[in-house]
Amino acid sequence: MKQGLILFFIITFSNIGLQAQLYDEVSSGAQYSQQAYYNLSTGAVQVVSNDAWDIAFSNIGQTDAGVFINESASLSASPVKLFLAPTTDWNQPITDISIFYDSLQLYNKEANWTDGAFNEVKNPNDPFDYGWGKYNPQNHQIVGDKVYVVKKRNGEFVKLKVDSYRGGYYYFRYAQLDNSNEVIDSVARTTNGVNSIVHYSLDSKKIVNISNDYDLVFLRYITPLEDTPGVFLDYSVTGFLLAPGTQAVVADGVDVSTVNEEDYASGYSSAPTTIGHEWKSYDFTSGWIIDEDRANFVKTKNGDKYKLVFVDFSGSGTGTVTVERTKLATNKVQKSMKIVDMQCFPNPVSDVINIHVPKNEQVLVRLMNSLGQTVLSKESNSNQPIHLPANIESGIYRIIMDGRDWRATHSIVVLN
């Protein structure tokens, strides 16, 4: 299949009312052959062939280093598959491919945009372990210590290693299993701006240009489904993933014409599969059936809110879902925040962290872990030492301090 990107705009129709209802068609293509990156403010969709990219790198916060595999494949094609190599020595040839069973395959968990398939082998009890490499707190670099094997869509095997993350760049290499045809390359973390993923093609040896202005992506991905009671198997499904920075909440069992978003506002989640694939089901007599009493509320990166109701799904014939999109009114005024410098010491820290900012006022201080969860939130003076929670686990955290019209952030390492 020819690689390439097609940008097109969906024709929309509006109803007269307090809030216009727009109808978009978002397509993953015949046989689910493509990925559709969907912008809710315009209805625009950027379409990318499933085989346009193979691996991707995260730029979500200050401490993430997620590396992902492209799990999307049409019904008649094989996806890219990832395995851990039997050696950590890059120079050692790999001669036996029979050991790479599908049961040993590594997947993206889709739990967040900070951990991909390459991160799955990390030790959860080691805060410096990123799976593909280890973080060095002395020089603030991540050094690769794993070798992976990638089975490409055409059945060819290649080896791949993420050498390091340093200075804002991911450095990596890949080659034939006998070490021939080695490619050494790097991608800038900030290629697509903040809250973004950088996509890369092993065949073209280039970054794939996917605009970062999308809010949802409609595609095939792999997720565990219950096959028999208590037994889960990995299946390819077609559904929506939230873009990095997007949040959503699902209201099920409701009247979609009257449901109130405010009743669900406390349930917003950034988990990519929040909307997922379960808004439809297949009946062998009737075909695809849409969950008609389900509304999906989405909050975009800029704070706009939308109600999405799925109206129709064509299945693998065209891979098209029809979406009723309604922008919700909001009275919230976004205030511009100035960014100021923050100094934190000692770093690493175990119990008390001293903070210095060029402001002296009451502030809100939050401490976030690497999953984006708040482990501490309190009001304090801007330059007052912060006592860490007694039960805080070792790891990398981010301090966020909000003043009247300014914000300061800094990463710290907690060692306990």
Check pLDDT > 60 for residue 50. Answer: yes
DSSP string, 160-187: EEEEEEETTEEEEEEEETTS-S-EEEEE
d(CA 106, CA 116): 9
d(CA 57, CA 119): 11
Task: Read off the amino acid at residue 78.
Answer: S
Map residue 331 onto helix, strand or coil: coil
Task: Read off the amino acid at residue 291.
Answer: D
Sign of CA dihedral 385, 386, 392, 393: negative
**How are strands ordered across the β-sheet holding 406-414?**
338-339, 406-414, 395-402, 362-368, 374-381
Cα dihedral value 266, 225, 195, 410, nearest 10: 70
The neighbouring-strand residues paired with 311 are: none
What would the two tokens of residue 282 be?
Answer: 């297949």
| Of the candidate ranges 101-110, 244-253, 405-414, the one whose mean pLDDT is the lowest | 405-414
Q: Read off the pLDDT of residues 194-224 as tens digits, 9 standing for 90 and up.
A: 899 999 999 999 999 999 999 999 999 999 9
Confidence at residue 190, expressed as pLDDT on a 0 to 100 scale: 94
Q: Work out the percent of the chain whose per-residue pLDDT is above 90.
A: 76
- Using a 10 angstrom Cβ sphere, with 0-12 exposed, 13-18 middle and 19 or more buried, the burial of residue 382 is buried
Q: How confident is the model at residue 371 (pLDDT cuts 50, 70, 90)?
A: low
Task: Read off the amino acid at residue 89.
Answer: D
Task: Read off the amino acid at residue 238.
Answer: T
Cα dist from 254 to 18, 48, 259, 291, whole Å: 20, 34, 6, 10
What would the two tokens of residue 217 be?
Answer: 């992506």
Ordered structural domains, the chain, with CATH: 1-53+210-334 (no CATH), 76-192 (no CATH), 338-414 (2.60.40.3080)
Q: Read off the pLDDT of residues 73-118 as tens digits, 9 standing for 90 and up.
A: 999 999 999 999 999 999 999 999 999 999 999 999 999 999 999 9
Check pLDDT > 80 for residue 372. Answer: no
Confidence at residue 77, expressed as pLDDT on a 0 to 100 scale: 94
Check pLDDT > 90 for residue 336. Answer: no
Q: How confident is the model at residue 9 (pLDDT cuts 50, 70, 90)?
A: very low
Q: How confident is the model at residue 331 (pLDDT cuts 50, 70, 90)?
A: low
Q: Read off the pLDDT of residues 290-322 as tens digits, 9 standing for 90 and up.
A: 999 999 999 999 999 999 999 999 999 999 999
Confidence at residue 8, expressed as pLDDT on a 0 to 100 scale: 38
Q: What is the largest CA-CA distance in the chain?
A: 68
Confidence at residue 388, expressed as pLDDT on a 0 to 100 scale: 92
d(CA 146, CA 169): 18
What would the two tokens of residue 179 be?
Answer: 């070490």
d(CA 52, CA 203): 9
Task: Read off the amino acid at residue 187.
Answer: V
Confidence at residue 395, expressed as pLDDT on a 0 to 100 scale: 87
Sorted by sequence, the CB contacts under 8 Å of residue 311 that are 6+ apart come out as 23, 290, 322, 323, 324
Q: Work out the percent of the chain whose per-residue pLDDT is above 70.
A: 93
Q: Which of 156, 77, 71, 73 is nearest to 118 (CA)?
A: 71
Average pLDDT, rounded, for the chain: 91
Q: How confident is the model at residue 349 (pLDDT cuts 50, 70, 90)?
A: very high
Q: How confident is the model at residue 374 (pLDDT cuts 50, 70, 90)?
A: confident
Q: How confident is the model at residue 5 (pLDDT cuts 50, 70, 90)?
A: very low
Q: How confident is the model at residue 239 (pLDDT cuts 50, 70, 90)?
A: very high
Contact 184, 73 (CB under 8 A): no
